[in-house]
């Protein structure tokens, strides 16, 4: 299997994992930057992530337009991905989703979302909240053009996650597996923080030094990373799509 | 398949989806107005929604009485549907259910249920709470006649959802898929609001302009709508009941 | 099938339903009074309810002792059932369980468990909390003899449910299906009340008149009752054990 | 089957149970002391516990190093187990995990984790919270060497559980089944306490005398213990791995 085909397969796995872990439902999407053309990215056609197969992957440019003539419907909010790839050359993979337990932090003004558990460290020291109403007034809250998407990308800045008020979040990372991992642990970290607040007293967040130490030590090609990827793929019923190298050891997820 | 048969099949799918999404359990029901006779509606006989098949659908009039001689038991609370269809010509589909996370808002007086997430916008700017005790005193809380049902319909007024104190809710929409969607996102919106309150500080609800913008832009015949319908049907194990037109594109749910 | 054999089968169904609905796990038990000898009751040998089959049912007397020589292990806490049958001739079925969401109400002193939803009405106007420490000091909290069980039965009095501090609850009803229903809706009612409290403001409980109206109108032999029984049995994977009479209509659960 | 092979099989069952009960996910691990050499312990190679099979079990010494040449990757945090076995001769089995509902108690300073339900008694009167930052400053929060592990073991002292701030917990017991049971009921007890706090008023924890009475009366070889082990194994889909003695009665889990 070519590297490109394997990446497509990884993107399918990412779709299925995010569905199984309830990060996405009928809505929400994950993309990966094209490995050979940094001005393009790969994402499913308009389809529930759980149902995505390799033939559903389309190639879009940084304006969110399909590279090839495309008769099939596309995600309305594909511009989110385009704008983030356009402004962040370091980013190789993007998720947009509505994971339920992230929503309260975009609605209530009283508690900032911060990493409080080690697996949540990848959300970073700062999680900005983007409110589409600030610059676009009364909308249907969907990000349906490049102007809105660029505004969101600007709010995201150099961070890993931006919450979207009353809607969900956008997350961005250096690889497909990292963005999946980040998006799974984001709601878990949110729940831990919500419940810690209910217990009362001071909350100990991860320190900037701890966040940095974790980030520095993290590799998408490590055995520990593969362990989670394999586990989630197995739970999502698509472990048969995992590609392993000939030596029988963990194969790094691509992209 | 005739349009009528396809609508019956859609109603079966709606039953199964609502069961799978835990909007209904052994109790709760969904109906659709008869497409050719606006004084009648279609609903299952007394049966847990999860178990409903096409042959379980019966036709009732706007007094909640069966149009044909019917030996089988009917839902005790079918009058809820009759009264809403009778007073709201714009309504094509109705759900009554006890979804757990909607209940607290009908019990506690401290927080009004309002849309706080974009998928919850369809509950509208106002969600009245109906208390059967106000006009009927001590009852078993069930809506078992037209007088009670008409009182509930009056409380619902021109809104999309009325909470029923200590009991559940009634929701109404322009199509079957819309009432299913509304009823699924209602508890989700309720949870987001409950948790946002726990985080403290000001709560940002959707603005009236945002609610209106979403309502205006929504079509039960869009690709996005079909995406959710297909996703839910698949989860509920009844994707084989989905009817697709010959052109291979998304087929609008009927009703 | 004889009525007795059908009752045994219903007791097996009850075990499986309570397991599936997470009222019991490895621990917890359900019993039914012997239909022909009111001084005896039927209950499984020491086994997780999910795994109970007809041959696991044993017959005990009102001291909690087996009527026939019994080589198999019995539930340590079978005395709970014996004491309730002994003091309450109106009771035909008993459950003891640790359902998670009932526990906080036995631990915290700040909120009394009261019915707030119509399906929770059967817990009654008063839910006493029994603390084994009051009369027995430091124990392992298990009810392992008749003295402790009688003390619990005395606390239960004429009510339907007694919470057991730091342990669980005992519930009692006029029939097997009623005690199952009561035990399923008890934690649901508890959750609704917990969440209503978080929303703030006054809480509207069911009025004594509403509780009475529901109790008066309830029949274990109604179509509505069968609907739930059939639904739960189906979910628990044991609908094949349901017994239906020849006329094809709902058969009342026995006991 | 030899006792040693049966113990390996029990360790596999323990892995699967902890995964099914959501105590571990891709991460977290369980070990058992070697029955014939108290300076060694048995644990899986680096693999999600759900996927562990007998051939994945490796033998490590009390420095966390493999006894035999080992080409396969090992858990980064295996030192936690080594340090606890090294300092606590009474301990035969150890779990390290991130069970979600234990996390808030390691983050918030306002409420101490204490046993409030009888099944939670085994966490003991005192649950210390270890913060890796106290002695090691800014780290990635993982326990990846003996110095860190020994510091954790020192904090654990003679207790059964230590919470690890922003990370998870380590639990230790006299047998494999006890450490599994402890680790399953730990988050359950945490939830009961969290919710009890929300109900307000005084919280009744288990008294020291009750904790002691339960501990005294508990045997890993009892029928009640086997009942839970069999139930969990069945839920986890590995009841076929259970080993029963010839007499057909419950066989005590080993180790």
pLDDT in tens, D152-205: 999 999 999 999 999 999 999 999 999 999 999 999 999 999 999 999 999 999
Q: What is the predicted ipTM?
A: 0.93
Name the band, by pLDDT with cuts 50, 70 and 90, for residue A244: low
pLDDT exceeds 90 at position C253: no
Q: What are phi and psi of B11, to 5 degrees?
A: -65, -35
pLDDT exceeds 80 at position D110: yes
Name the band, by pLDDT with cuts 50, 70 and 90, for residue B248: very low
Please report the pLDDT score of residue C247 as a whole number.
37
Mutate to test the interface with D, among A101, A180, A231, A237 (most CBs of D within 10 A): A231
Nearest to C75 by CA among C54, C98, C48: C48
Q: Lowest-confidence range among B84-88, B108-112, C87-91, C142-146?
A: B108-112
A-D Cβ pairs (cutoff 8 Å, strict): 111
Residue in B26, B166, B194 closest to C117 by CB:
B166
The secondary structure of residue C165, as a DSSP letter, is: T
Q: Do C194 and D192 touch (CB under 8 A)?
A: no
The pLDDT tens digits for C184-243 are 999 999 999 999 999 999 999 999 999 999 988 777 778 888 889 999 999 999 999 998
pLDDT exceeds 60 at position B173: yes
Residue in C204, C207, C232 closest to B107 by CB:
C204
Residue in C46, C105, C142 closest to D227 by CB:
C46
Distance CA D184, CA D156 (A): 19
The mean pLDDT value for C127-149 works out to 98
pLDDT exceeds 50 at position A195: yes
The mean pLDDT value for C46-62 works out to 97
The mean pLDDT value for A143-164 works out to 98
Q: Do D231 and C26 touch (CB under 8 A)?
A: yes
Q: Do D200 and C165 touch (CB under 8 A)?
A: no
Interface of A to B at Cβ within 8 Å reads 25-27, 46-48, 50-51, 73, 76, 98, 100-101, 103-105, 107-111, 131, 133, 137-142, 165-167, 194, 197-198
Nearest to B52 by CA among B84, B83, B26: B26
| Radius of gyration for the alpha carbons in chain A, expressed in angstroms and rounded | 18
Element holding A13 (H helix, E strand):
helix A3-20
CB B30 within 8 Å of CB B14:
yes
Q: What percent of chain D has pLDDT over 70?
A: 95
How many other C-beta atoms can be found within 10 angstroms of the C-beta atom of residue A92?
A: 24
Q: What are phi and psi of C170, to 5 degrees?
A: -125, 135
Angle at CA of residue A167, ends A163 and A169, nearest 5° = 30
What pTM was computed for the model? 0.94
Please report the pLDDT score of residue B244 as a whole number.
62
The pLDDT tens digits for D1-51 are 789 999 999 999 999 999 999 999 999 999 999 999 999 999 999 999 999
Name the band, by pLDDT with cuts 50, 70 and 90, for residue C45: very high
The pLDDT tens digits for A8-40 are 999 999 999 999 999 999 999 999 999 999 999
Residue B77 is among the residues annotated as catalytic for this protein: yes
Q: Do D118 and C141 touch (CB under 8 A)?
A: yes
Q: Do C227 and B138 touch (CB under 8 A)?
A: no
Rounded to 10 degrees, what is the CA torsion of D244, D246, D250, D255? Answer: -60
Please report the pLDDT score of residue C245 as a whole number.
45
CB-CB neighbors (< 8 A) of B76 in chain C: 224
- The alpha carbon of residue D177 is apart from the nearest alpha carbon of chain C, in Å, by 14
Return mean pLDDT, chain A: 93
Q: Do A111 and B200 touch (CB under 8 A)?
A: yes
- The alpha carbon of residue B19 is apart from the nearest alpha carbon of chain A, in Å, by 17
Q: Lowest-confidence range among A76-85, A108-117, A240-249, B217-226?
A: A240-249
- The alpha carbon of residue A209 is apart from the nearest alpha carbon of chain B, in Å, by 26
């Amino acid at each position: 299997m070519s590297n490109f085909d394997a990446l497509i397969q990884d993107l399918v796995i990412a779709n299925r994992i995010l569905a199984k872990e309830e990060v996405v439902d009928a809505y929400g999407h994950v993309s990966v930057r094209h490995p050979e053309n940094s001005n393009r990215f790969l994402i499913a056609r308009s389809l529930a992530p759980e149902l995505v197969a390799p033939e559903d992957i389309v190639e879009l440019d940084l304006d969110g337009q399909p590279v090839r003539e495309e008769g099939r419907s596309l995600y309305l909010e594909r511009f989110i991905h385009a704008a983030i790839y356009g402004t962040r050359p370091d980013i190789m993979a993007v998720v947009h989703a509505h994971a339920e337990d992230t929503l309260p932090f975009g609605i209530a003004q009283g508690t900032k979302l911060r990493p409080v558990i080690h697996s949540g460290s990848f959300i970073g020291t700062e999680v900005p909240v983007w409110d589409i109403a600030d610059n676009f007034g009364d909308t249907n809250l969907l990000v349906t053009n490049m102007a809105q998407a660029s505004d969101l990308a600007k709010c995201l800045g150099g961070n890993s996650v931006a919450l979207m008020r009353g809607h969900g979040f956008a997350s961005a990372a250096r690889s497909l597996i990292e963005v999946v991992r980040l998006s799974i642990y984001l709601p878990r970290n949110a729940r831990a923080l919500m419940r810690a607040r209910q217990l009362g007293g001071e909350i100990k967040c991860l320190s900037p030094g701890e966040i940095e130490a974790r980030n520095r030590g993290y590799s998408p090609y490590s055995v520990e990373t593969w362990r989670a990827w394999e586990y989630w793929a197995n739970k999502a019923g698509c472990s048969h799509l995992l590609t392993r190298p000939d030596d029988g050891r963990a194969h790094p997820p691509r992209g």
